[in-house]
A and B are shown apart, each in its own frame.
Chain A
Amino acid sequence: MVMSAALEEVTMEAPLRLVEPVRIGAASAEKVSGSFALKDVSVAYGNETVIAGVNMLVPSRAVTALIGPSGCGKSTLLRCLNRMNDEIGNVRVGGAVTLDGLDIYQKSVDPVDLRMRVGQVFQRPNPFPMSIYDNVAFGPRTQGVRKREELDAIIEAALRDAALWDEVKNHLKKHAFELSGGQQQRLCIARALATKPEVLLMDEPASALDPISTQQIEDTIAELKDMVTIVIVTHNMQQAARISDQTAFMLRESMDQPAHLVEVGETKRLFTNPDDKRTESYITGRFG
């Protein structure tokens, strides 16, 4: 097994081989947060365990890519991080997931509060059937923001961060369904950012989009990683190599055993000099 010894002892101080992004100005004063530690995480649907023994760190303010063949449990693992698995009946999560040291599965944690800190963008753009403004305002309003000027400011900032502001600033009252697929997906990113999350989970956010929209999403991710921790699932190796700092490769070797984490490491290293032969086969397209 390739699981490095360092990962057995999961602590916040173990930064993997990653360097925290250098932060300048006022921002450097604020506490850098939004890092996950997963310890021996397993997930079962009913009595079928689909993932087992996942140990990894998700460093703050960096992009972590989850890769692996279809059905290996990438989406399932992602949903452990904002407890969206709770919404599916009959799911059991084992092991420990901590966000900045807080065990997010302990009784006192309300998933509703957790999800304000850990946002998610889905595979298919899923804007609400309402105006662009109301879509982005949904999260802040849920958090109790009512003042018009305050909302306006949050919405402008979120749309700017999602690189959509210039395209929609003059028709914020327009129905969200009138936007193109790529714009809708950036709207969904803005909607998630408006709750000011520390982490953004993205499950194949560009797989339903054309190449230009995909490029725009990737550019957006590059801009965002100074503000939030990003965990992204992707089937696209080039994309993982281009946008991520850390990559985790998951594999389910046969249907009668759960998937596990084969290798996790700095993206550049993993793609050029993987530790494991299976990682090499996968990234060179020999299976999956």
Chain B
Amino acid sequence: MSDRNRRARNARTVEAVMKVVTGACVALVVGAAVLILGKIVISGIPGISLEFLFSKPGMGMRAGGIFPIIVGTLMLVTLTAVLVLPLGIMAGIYLAEYAPKNIVTRIVRLSIANMAGVPSIVYGLFGLAVFVLLMQFGKSLLASALTLTCLTLPVIITSTEEALRQIPSDLRQAALALGATRWRAIYKVILPAAAPGIVTGSILGLSRAAGETAPILVTGAAFFLPRLPDSVFSQYMSLPYHLYVLATQVPNVPPEITWGTAFVLVAGVSIVSMIAGAWRSVQRRKVKW
């Protein structure tokens, strides 16, 4: 048999093997995801009831519901969104549209990318030192939201910048050639076109904020506080920290309470992503290039 035939046969074998190997890896990942989600759904659903969602915890958190915890999480994430979205999106716009192409810009961009890799407990310690102690916000919703703002800022900035870069420069040129200022071109043409990407990045960043435990643990989340926070300077309860408490700090919690709490957190984050996904696909159908 000629050399060329042998090489062709080898290539076919490698092709077949690689297809199986890569496919197996995907199967493994999907399997793990199904297992995790399956466990949360199967063990969590029995705990879900209107009473569970809308009442306070009782009997040392071994009974009752998680209403203050849900509300605390919502308040925390909303406050974080209010702080981080304008800041992050504006910074992303500057980097994509206005920043000069020089070494300083490159360093700034690199630093932002590195910020995304800093472990969340480090943000927690920073928040404790700066927002809780130095700025004297105390352990509070505000201190936690500011800490989560620092944590999610890199994700929001980077995804905004990326989304803006996806927009063909034709559109920018067209707007400028009509006598629009840069800001008008951005505001009227580029931002709307980039909105789906920016929303995706924002949801991703805020989902991460909603699930963080370490940074809020040291900046304001309460172990147990059955009333609702009454100002941004109050402490609050929150789903991820509550889960941690139920799983490790309180003996004999009925499993449907622990898993029910986990289910609410996962379902909340998923529902928001799904709504964003649906809106995005409607947008995509309208806008294509």
Please, what's the 1-or-0 string for A65-85, where 1 marks a CB less than 8 Å from any CB in chain B? 000000000000000001010
At the interface with chain B, which of A51-59, A100-108, A135-143, A148-156?
A135-143
Knowing A128-B189, A129-B193, A129-B286, say if A87 contacts B181 (CB, 8 Å): no
Question: Which residues of the partner chain A approach B172 to less than 8 Å between Cβ atoms?
Answer: 87
Bound: A177/B171 CA distance, A: 13
Which residue of A87, A116, A129, A177 contacts B179 across the interface (Cβ within 8 Å)?
Answer: A116
Chain B residues lying within 8 Å of A116, measured Cβ to Cβ, are 178-179
Once the chains bind, are A119 and B181 in contact (CB under 8 Å)? no
On whether A139 and B101 interact (CB within 8 A), knowing A122-B170, A126-B171, the answer reads no
Known: A122-B170, A129-B192, A177-B287. A139 touches B176 (CB 8 A): no
Give the docked Cα–Cα distance between A197 and B70 (Å).
Answer: 58
**Contacting residues, chain A, for B184 (C-beta < 8 A):** 142
For residue A122, which residues in chain B have a CB less than 8 angstroms away from its CB? 170, 173-174, 177
**A128 and B289 alpha carbons, distance in the complex (Å):** 11
Q: CB distance A82 to B177 under 8 Å?
A: yes
Contacts of A191 on B, CB cut-off 8 Å? Answer: 174, 178
Whether a CB of chain A sits under 8 angstroms from the CB of B266 is no
> B101, B172, B178 — which one has the most chain A CB atoms within 10 A of its CB?
B178
Establish whether residues B179 and A128, one from each chain, have CB atoms under 8 Å apart when the complex forms.
no
Closest to B288 in A: A177
Q: Which residues of B contact A82 (CB under 8 A)?
A: 177
| B180 and A126 contact, CB distance less than 8 A | no
Instruction: Check A113 for interface membership: any CB of B closer than 8 A.
Output: yes
Contact indicator A128/B177 (Cβ below 8 Å): no
B178 touches which of A87, A129, A138 (Cβ 8 Å): A138
Asked whether B175 is an interface residue with its Cβ less than 8 Å from the other chain, the reply is yes
| Residue pair A192, B168 in contact (C-beta under 8 Å) | no
Partner of B173, one of A84, A114, A119, A139: A84
CB B174 to nearest CB in A, in angstroms, measures 5
Cα A175 to Cα B289 with chains together (Å): 13
Contact A126 B178 (CB under 8 A): no
B227 within 8 A of A: no
What residues of B have a CB within 8 angstroms of the CB of A89 in the complex? 100-101
A61 within 8 A of B: no
Judging by beta carbons under 8 Å apart, are A195 and B179 in contact? yes
Interface 1/0s, chain A 123-136, versus B by CB < 8 A? 01011111000000
Mark B182-203 against chain A: 1 for CB-CB distance below 8 A, else 0. Answer: 0010001100110000000000
How many angstroms between the C-alpha atoms of A119 and B178 in the bound complex?
Answer: 6
Q: Which residues of B contact A138 (CB under 8 A)?
A: 175, 178, 180, 188-189
Contacting residues, chain A, for B101 (C-beta < 8 A)? 89
Shortest distance between the CB of A158 and any CB in chain B (Å): 12
Specify which chain B residues have a CB less than 8 angstroms from the CB of A112 in the assembled complex: 179-181
**B residues in contact with A115, CB < 8 Å:** 176-179
A115–B192 Cα distance when bound, in Å, is 23
> Is A183's beta carbon under 8 Å from chain B?
no
23 A-B pairs (CB sep. < 8 Å): A82-B177, A84-B176, A84-B177, A87-B173, A87-B176, A89-B100, A114-B179, A115-B177, A116-B178, A116-B179, A122-B170, A128-B171, A128-B174, A128-B175, A128-B189, A129-B286, A142-B178, A142-B180, A177-B287, A177-B288, A191-B178, A192-B177, A192-B178
- 5 pairs of A and B residues whose beta carbons are closest in the complex: A116-B179, A126-B170, A120-B177, A115-B179, A129-B287
